[in-house]
Structure 1
Amino acid sequence: MGKILKYAFRITHIDNIPHILKFGLLLADSSMCDEKFVSIGDPQVINIRKMLMVGGKNLRDYVPFYLGPRTPMLYVIQHGYNGVRRQDPAGIVYCVLRLADLIRDKVDCFFTDGHALSALTKIYEKDRLPEICQIINYDDVYVSQWNNDSDIDLKRRKEAELLIKGDVPPDYIRGYIVYNDDAKEKLKSFGIAEELIVVAPNYYF
């Protein structure tokens, strides 16, 4: 049996975690939004996504997740490129969802075989989610280096996305990945059980 895609990842600033524990992962215009929310994304990309329609769907109505770790966006965030404020890796947390939970509950979502903003990307409705391992190549989304002269499309495929409609309740978050033990201790201070926190510096740059 080949490698199986089991998880979806959303990165956020560690200071957002207390609010996320209470309200979940929210749309930008959610009524439950945190006034003190610390944004770590690319403002230009965020604004484009607010206006973009993909397959007849308005991306502003969906919370996006990546299907693998160590993404090009994380690289930009950690290094402060493209006008994005540089973030220390210890301040970045992965919130982890299980695809099996979304399939079980028939959560309203869709997924893509590459970056959602690319014209080359195809979208797949929620009824195809059980087939995701046949559609998305595990090695593509988990690859560490995406600049490949023999495969110039790899970076697009690396950024395959799962997009969930509406706010995502906190019960769907099955675990957290952090950079080091200091970040782990901070999450524990928020009331998160130790067994739900994984220290994985290899998921960062």
Structure 2
Amino acid sequence: MFTDAESTLVYHITDVANLPSILNDGRLISDAAMEQHDPNIVIGYDHIKLRRLREIHVPCCDERFVGEFVPFYFCPRSPMLFTINKGNVPNRPAGCQRSIVHLVSTLQRMIDLDQRWAVSSGNAGAFHTTFDDQLMAVNMLDWEAIQAISWSGRGHQKSAELLVADFVPWSAFHQIGCYNSAIAGQVTELLADIEHRPTIRVERDWYYA
């Protein structure tokens, strides 16, 4: 369960093919900001991304849209990764989790960015989700579901998110979790000339069988 912001890890998943543009920009940007840039490889449902961009507000953050925030999960091996790997997302074949990496930071590091942030009670793309910008809201999350390996029926709760407004600098990440050594090797090559190089690890337990 949640203990403190310094030890609480947060995870953003993206395709390894998106790393060059992230590194070139020096930051990870929101989907709303992405509309003004060259598009990255999308790993989620288009209709849900549109809902986050145009329909669901974060009341505690000046009614801004969810899509204006960079999303993080409080666990690896998320329900979204499961769905992507099953081939349920358009243009993403079954087994495609191999190319997805986890960018890891801490809750405290996100708070220290001094940008607007919020915690969602579950999947921030669902209309019944609630939002809060107070740290105590993290304690109220369903940590049993978040930490569960088997989460059938609790996917919404396990999908609770930390939302950080607009962008997150590359320097905020301290680790990159990869499916296998081949992907870890690709990431190592991409970071060869980058000043800030997070630790790169194969974290097979962060993925599905």
Assess same fold via TM > 0.5. Answer: yes
Instruction: Give unpaired runs (5+ residues) of structure 1.
Output: none
Relative distance call for 1:195 and 1:97 in structure 2 (3 A) is closer
Report how many residues are paired. 196
Is 1:78 the equivalent of 2:85?
Answer: yes
TM-score (norm 2): 0.82
Aligned to 1:171: 171
Q: 1:20 aligns with which of 13, 19, 22?
A: 22
Secondary structure at 1:68's aligned position in 2? coil
Larger mean Cα displacement after TM superposition, 35-44 or 173-182: 35-44
> Are positions 1:141 and 2:154 aligned together?
no
TM-score, normalising length from structure 1?
Answer: 0.84
Is it true that 1:103 corresponds to 2:103 in the alignment?
no
Which residue pairs with 2:99 in the alignment? 91
- The C-alpha deviation readout for 1:61-94, integer Å capped at 9, x for no partner, is 1111111111111111111115452252221011
- Measured against aligned partners, the alpha-carbon deviations of 1:111-138 in whole angstroms (never above 9, x if no partner) come to 112112334432111xx22x35522243
**Per the alignment, in what secondary structure is the counterpart of residue 167 of structure 2?**
coil
Are the counterparts in 2 of residues 64 and 162 from structure 1 also a CA contact under 8 Å? yes
Counterparts in 2 of 1:28 and 1:102: CA distance versus 1, 3 Å: closer
Match of residue 49, structure 1, among 48, 52, 57: 52
- Measure the CA separation in 1 of the matches of 2:137 and 2:19: 29
The answer to whether structure 1 residue 62 and structure 2 residue 62 are counterparts is no
What percent of counterpart residues are identical? 23
> Post-superposition shift, 1:172?
1.2
Closer/same/farther in 2, CA of residues 62 and 104 from structure 1, 3 Å limit: closer
How many Å separate the matches in 1 of 2:37 and 2:189? 20
Could you say which residue in structure 2 is the equivalent of 1:161? 161
Per the alignment, do residues 82 and 37 of structure 1 end up closer, same or farther by CA in structure 2, a change over 3 Å counting?
A: closer
| CA 50–22 in structure 1, closer or farther in 2 if over 3 Å, else same | same
Partner of 2:129: 121
Q: Aligned partner of 2:42: which letter?
A: S
Q: Given that residues 26 and 32 in structure 1 are in contact (C-alpha distance below 8 angstroms), is that contact kept between their aligned partners in structure 2?
A: no
